[in-house]
């Protein structure tokens, strides 16, 4: 089956970039990305392509090339589904905030809505692709909804989880380690798998396109994120021990990473992992394990989250204790709010939790991030409901100029590893701060020796400095 028209439901961090690359690499396929969020679609269609809603290096150039040619962004969800041979579901699957499984299970209401909508508007056979990260066996529920429409339309369901990381989405999509496609093992299922393989084969070498059954594919995505997050929690656990013993976590990471069985990636100690997925996906894994009565499996993975929460809290408490056990009324400058560099995404960013802790200690926070707006920072803090919206507005200021941001501060906390932080005039920053001037580097980003020479009191995660 040759695919001519694709619809992607969900124009977010995954749907937007993924479809932009498919459109770029497959000019013969019409790709329409739809979303209920009118503002998001308007931003994707913004005349000035630098205003698209997601900041990802290299993305705007690709959108500029394909948009209007074979890439379209629209709010006409029904129309796009109706016209498509293949429908990607790329909507959000957040942690449930209510009812059974609250705080752990994935909330599948958006997925179910999509399935019902596809069922109700389809008049021709379609391949439905799960792009969102889903609990294992979700395809079963989607099949049930789609196969019981009674209108004679045939649907094949595939699982095609996305492994891109934010900040490197374009390179990850153009050159993926692997593309994973799970499908039914019968002839129709395998035909659907082939149709999707053929799309990726336009730019991904065949040997990197892996096909499995549906359940292996769904579970592999949760497993991959759990393993990645586990590495961060493992090195972060060691960072605390390093600080007590005089070992340097960077040296330890290098030493173990040179063992080819361990590998050098994902061993960067930090203030804690953030992002919309690691925590949500591990909680989901824990919930699934518990629902099968596998309590030891559940406890094992839950520890990754417990360690991560500890790391965020530990960073904040160490700021307070170093600043003579009080930060009340003191100005603390934050460098970075995004959950990692090269993205404007702040979901579950460690900065939010460190800020919350310090605001509870009545600190005044001055926040600078090269890509995150004041509105976003305030909305992140308001979302926690730790204090009134007024108190959040009184407790923080946001600056677009880093030197202004640090002026008069008692301390600087580095929360995101933006490269530009390394290039600042640190002498100038030092001169305008309260003395002693502290830097708490939550990312092991800055050159501590250089800063100490200037006069800063410098502390970095896991180095004992």
Sites of contact with ligand NAD (CB under 6 A): 9-15, 34-37, 40, 77, 90-93, 110, 113-114, 132-133, 162, 164, 166, 276-277
* Least spacing, CB of residue 89 vs ligand NAD, in Å: 9
| Residues 187-246 contacting ligand UGA, CB under 6 A | 225, 228, 232
- What is the H or E stretch that residue 159 is in? strand 155-159
* Least spacing, CB of residue 166 vs ligand NAD, in Å: 5
* Least spacing, CB of residue 114 vs ligand NAD, in Å: 5
Instruction: Give the nearer residue to ligand UGA in terms of CB position, either 70 or 270.
Output: 270
**Could you say which of 110, 266, 424, 430 contacts ligand UGA (CB under 6 A)?**
266
Our answer to whether residue 277 is catalytic in this structure is: yes
Instruction: Give the nearer residue to ligand UGA in terms of CB position, either 337 or 458.
Output: 337
Selection from ligand UGA, ligand NAD, none that 433 binds (CB < 5 to 8 A by kind) is: none
Sheet containing strand 411-414, edge to edge, reads 396-398, 364-368, 331-335, 411-414, 438-441, 457-460
Work out whether 352 is an interface residue with ligand UGA (CB under 6 A). Answer: no
**Within a 13 Å sphere around the CA of 403, how many CA atoms are in the beta-carbon half?**
9
* Least spacing, CB of residue 231 vs ligand UGA, in Å: 7
Rounded (10°) CA dihedral 222, 228, 231, 236:
-100
* Least spacing, CB of residue 203 vs ligand UGA, in Å: 18
Alpha helical stretches, state H, 12-154: 15-25, 38-44, 59-66, 77-83, 109-121, 138-147
- Other CB atoms within 10 A of residue 194 CB: 14
Contact 414, 443 (CB under 8 A): yes
Q: Which stretch binds ligand UGA (CB under 6 A): 84-92, 274-282, 319-327, 387-395?
A: 274-282
Structure tokens at 120: 């109700």
CA 279/CA 217 separation, integer angstroms: 20
Comparing CA positions, the residue from 327, 318, 395 lying closest to residue 361 is 327
Q: Which DSSP state fits 206? A: G
Which of 26, 114, 277, 406 is the catalytic position? 277
CA distances from 274 to 201, 403, 452 (A): 33, 26, 29
- For 240-274, b/e burial (b = at least 16 CB within 10 A) is bebbeeebbbbebbeebeeeeeeeeebbbbbbbbb
Work out whether 90 is an interface residue with ligand UGA (CB under 6 A). Answer: no
Backbone φ and ψ of 62, nearest 5° = -70, -40
1-40 footprint of ligand UGA as x/- string (CB under 6 A): ----------------------------------------
Work out whether 156 is an interface residue with ligand UGA (CB under 6 A). Answer: no
Structure tokens at 202: 């336009």
* Least spacing, CB of residue 133 vs ligand UGA, in Å: 6
Instruction: Give the nearer residue to ligand UGA in terms of CB position, either 24 or 162.
Output: 162
* Least spacing, CB of residue 290 vs ligand UGA, in Å: 21
- Whether omega before 436 lies within 30 degrees of 0, making that bond cis, reads yes
Selection from ligand NAD, ligand UGA, none that 225 binds (CB < 5 to 8 A by kind) is: ligand UGA
Instruction: Give the nearer residue to ligand NAD in terms of CB position, either 161 or 336.
Output: 161
Q: Which stretch binds ligand UGA (CB under 6 A): 41-49, 200-208, 262-270, 377-385?
A: 262-270
CA 94/CA 106 separation, integer angstroms: 6
Comparing CA positions, the residue from 264, 255, 159 lying closest to residue 210 is 159
| Residues 34-73 contacting ligand UGA, CB under 6 A | none
Q: Which stretch binds ligand UGA (CB under 6 A): 261-269, 378-386, 420-428, 453-461?
A: 261-269
Q: Which stretch binds ligand UGA (CB under 6 A): 108-116, 178-186, 275-283, 379-387?
A: 275-283
Q: By the criterion CB under 6 A, which residues form the site for ligand UGA? A: 133, 162-166, 225, 228, 232, 266-268, 270, 273-275, 277-278, 339-340
């Amino acid at each position: 089956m040759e695919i001519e028209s694709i619809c992607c439901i969900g124009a977010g961090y995954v749907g937007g970039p993924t479809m932009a690359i498919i459109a770029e690499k497959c000019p013969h396929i019409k790709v329409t990305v739809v979303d209920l969020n009118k503002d998001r679609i308007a931003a994707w269609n913004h005349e000035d392509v630098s205003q698209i809603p997601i900041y990802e290096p290299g993305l705007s150039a690709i959108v500029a090339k394909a948009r209007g040619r074979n890439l379209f962004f629209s709010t006409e969800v029904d129309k796009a589904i109706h016209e498509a041979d293949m429908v990607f579901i790329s909507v959000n699957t957040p942690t449930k905030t209510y009812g059974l499984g609250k705080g752990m299970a994935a909330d599948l209401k958006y997925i179910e809505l999509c399935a019902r909508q596809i069922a109700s508007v389809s008049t021709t056979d379609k391949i439905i692709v799960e792009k969102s990260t889903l609990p294992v066996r979700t395809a079963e529920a989607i099949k049930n909804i789609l196969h019981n429409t009674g209108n004679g339309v045939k649907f094949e369901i595939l699982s095609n989880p996305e492994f891109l990381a934010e900040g490197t989405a374009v390179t990850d999509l153009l050159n993926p380690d692997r593309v994973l496609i799970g499908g039914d093992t019968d002839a129709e299922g395998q035909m659907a798998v082939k149709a999707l393989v053929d799309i990726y084969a336009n730019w991904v070498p065949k040997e990197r396109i892996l096909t499995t059954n549906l359940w292996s594919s769904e579970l592999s995505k949760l497993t991959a994120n759990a393993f990645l997050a586990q590495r961060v929690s493992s090195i972060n656990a060691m960072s605390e021990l390093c600080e007590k013993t005089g070992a340097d976590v960077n040296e330890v990471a290098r030493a173990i990473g040179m063992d080819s069985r361990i590998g050098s990636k994902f061993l960067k100690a930090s203030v804690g992992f953030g992002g919309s997925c690691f925590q949500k996906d591990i909680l989901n894994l824990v919930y699934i394990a518990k629902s099968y009565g596998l309590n030891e499996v559940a406890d094992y993975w839950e520890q990754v989250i417990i360690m991560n929460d500890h790391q965020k809290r530990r960073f904040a408490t160490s700021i307070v204790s170093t600043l003579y056990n009080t930060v009340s009324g003191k100005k603390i400058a934050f460098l970075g709010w995004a959950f990692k560099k090269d993205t404007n995404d702040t979901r579950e960013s460690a900065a939010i939790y460190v800020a919350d802790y310090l605001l509870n200690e009545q600190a005044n926070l001055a926040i600078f991030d090269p890509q995150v707006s004041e509105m976003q920072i305030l909305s992140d803090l308001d979302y926690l409901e730790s204090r009134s919206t007024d108190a959040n507005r009184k407790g923080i200021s946001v600056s677009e100029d880093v030197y202004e941001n640090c002026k008069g501060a008692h301390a600087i906390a580095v929360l995101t590893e933006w490269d530009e932080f390394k290039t600042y005039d640190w002498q100038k920053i030092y001169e305008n701060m309260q003395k002693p001037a502290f830097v708490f580097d939550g990312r092991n980003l800055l050159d501590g020796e250089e800063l100490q020479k200037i006069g800063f009191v410098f502390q970095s995660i896991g180095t004992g400095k």
